[in-house]
């Protein structure tokens, strides 16, 4: 009996992941799972754990590099009405599902006169992915707004974790042992028109200094080391425009790698290794990837 017997309606086999990542690179997932609600998700995770099958949750695919060989386990996507829901509650609370598209969530809250998420303008991905790595930029990060996060814990049960329990830090949250299902964000009212203007300004600033939206990238490749900027270090090391196969270090912002036609995931990974080595050799600083490599 296979690990997913009885779950055939939500489990597919050998699904190409290049259709699901911003890089549009990488091989297939052995299994690709689309649970429709938290119960199905909990059952799925328990089965995978009991069968010893490796699994990952795929958000918007904005921060992941899938190897050309693909992923030999199960990839789970949280789509559909339950996981993409957004609910406005009294007291400035917005409860959203992990699968909610972050840029759309930002715009929806602004349209409802809620203030705060404009600081996350231009950050791609889903709410779940953003929470997992406390996505943010110069003007703010998602963890700042969190009231609680509802997760499926390591025991397969639903739990609620407070912001303090999650311990948001720079590109980090204590959510590695669980799956995020939903979260409550605290967004007070305020000057909604000013927030919408700010949203537009930040968005324009980012797209003036970063590769075009149409470019195939995974956002910033490396985390900023304490007190410095990875983009500046990579730039100073003379890496802009450096190519391996079809992968190129962006000429606009050195912490982005663009995939051109014909690029493979191996090209991107080899270019990451080359850039890391060059920065280590010139500055002694050890850059750590921000992207996940599957
Ligand atoms: N810089 C260079 N050369 C470059 C790129 C940057 O010299 O090619 C310098 C800039 O002049 C600046 C410094 O490096 O002095 C920092 O650059 P920037 O202001 O562009 O911000 P960043 O630290 O590189 C961070 C986030 C971005 C986010 C921006 C804007 C990280 C690793 N990156 O970039 O997030 O969009 O701030 O808010 O924290 C992402 O997470 O994927 C991402 C792109």
Whole-angstrom distance, CA of residue 210 vs CA of residue 168: 26
Residue 251, ligand 1, Cβ within 6 A: no
pLDDT at 95 over 90: yes
Q: How far is the CA of 54 from the centre of ligand 1 (A)?
A: 33
Whole-angstrom distance, CA of residue 256 vs CA of residue 240: 9
**Cα pseudo-dihedral 143, 71, 99, 191, rounded to 10:** 40
Residue 134, ligand 1, Cβ within 6 A: no
Residue 205, ligand 1, Cβ within 6 A: no
From the list 20, 37, 192, 205, the residue with the least C-alpha distance to 108 is: 192
- Whose Cα sits closest to atom 29 in ligand 1? 137
CA-252 nearest atom, ligand 1 = 8
pLDDT at 1 over 90: no
Residue 285: pLDDT band (50, 70, 90) is: very high
Residue 138, ligand 1, Cβ within 6 A: yes
- Whose Cα sits closest to atom 15 in ligand 1? 232
pLDDT at 174 over 90: yes
CA 159 to chain centre: 22
Both tokens assigned to 37: 């609600």
Q: How far is the CA of 231 from the centre of ligand 1 (A)?
A: 6
pLDDT at 86 over 90: yes
pLDDT at 212 over 90: no
CA-170 nearest atom, ligand 1 = 39
Q: Mutation test of ligand 1: which of 129, 216, 220 has the most ligand atoms closer than 8 Å to its C-beta? A: 220
Residue 161: pLDDT band (50, 70, 90) is: very high
Whole-angstrom distance, CA of residue 270 vs CA of residue 245: 9
Both tokens assigned to 288: 């750590």
Whole-angstrom distance, CA of residue 24 vs CA of residue 26: 7
- Tens digits of per-residue pLDDT, 29-63? 999 999 999 999 999 999 999 999 999 999 999 99
Residue 172, ligand 1, Cβ within 6 A: no
Are 185 and 208 a contacting pair, CB within 8 Å? no
Element containing residue 272 per DSSP (H, E): helix 265-283
Are 84 and 114 a contacting pair, CB within 8 Å? no
Q: Mutation test of ligand 1: which of 121, 137, 221, 250 has the most ligand atoms closer than 8 Å to its C-beta? A: 137
From the list 27, 35, 37, 33, the residue with the least C-alpha distance to 2 is: 33
Whole-angstrom distance, CA of residue 26 vs CA of residue 67: 5
Residue 213: pLDDT band (50, 70, 90) is: confident
Q: Does pTM surpass 0.85?
A: yes
Q: Mutation test of ligand 1: which of 231, 236, 242, 252 has the most ligand atoms closer than 8 Å to its C-beta? A: 231
Q: Rounded to 5 degrees, what are φ and ψ at 46?
A: -65, -45
Both tokens assigned to 123: 């950050």
- Report the relative pairing of strands 93-97 and 257-259 from DSSP bridges: unpaired
Residue 254, ligand 1, Cβ within 6 A: yes
């Amino acid at each position: 009996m296979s690990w997913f017997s009885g779950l055939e309606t939500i489990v597919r086999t050998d699904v190409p992941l290049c259709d699901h990542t911003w890089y549009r690179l990488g091989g297939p997932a052995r299994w690709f799972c689309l649970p429709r609600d938290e119960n199905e998700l909990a059952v799925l995770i328990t089965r995978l754990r009991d069968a010893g099958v490796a699994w990952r949750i795929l958000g918007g695919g904005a921060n992941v590099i899938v190897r050309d060989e693909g992923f030999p386990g199960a990839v789970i996507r949280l789509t559909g009405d339950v996981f993409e829901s957004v609910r406005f509650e009294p007291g400035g609370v917005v409860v959203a599902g992990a699968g909610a598209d972050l840029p759309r969530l930002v715009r929806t809250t602004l349209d409802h006169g809620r203030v705060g998420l404009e600081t996350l303008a231009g950050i791609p991905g889903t709410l779940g992915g953003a929470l997992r790595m406390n996505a943010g930029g110069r003007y703010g990060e998602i963890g700042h707004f969190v009231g609680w996060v509802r997760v499926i814990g390591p025991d397969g049960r639903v739990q609620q974790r407070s912001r303090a329990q999650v311990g948001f830090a720079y590109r980090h949250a204590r959510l590695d042992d669980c799956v995020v299902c939903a979260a409550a964000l605290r967004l007070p009212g305020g000057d909604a028109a000013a927030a919408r203007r700010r949203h537009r300004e930040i968005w324009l600033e980012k797209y003036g200094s970063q590769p075009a939206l149409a470019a195939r990238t995974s956002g910033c490749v490396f985390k900023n080391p304490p007190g410095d900027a990875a983009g500046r270090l990579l730039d100073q090391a003379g890496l802009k425009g450096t190519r391996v196969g079809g992968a190129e270090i962006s000429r606009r912002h050195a912490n982005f790698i663009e995939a051109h036609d014909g690029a493979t995931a191996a090209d991107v990974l080899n270019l990451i290794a080359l850039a890391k080595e060059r920065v280590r050799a010139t500055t002694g600083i050890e850059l750590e990837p921000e992207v996940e490599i599957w």
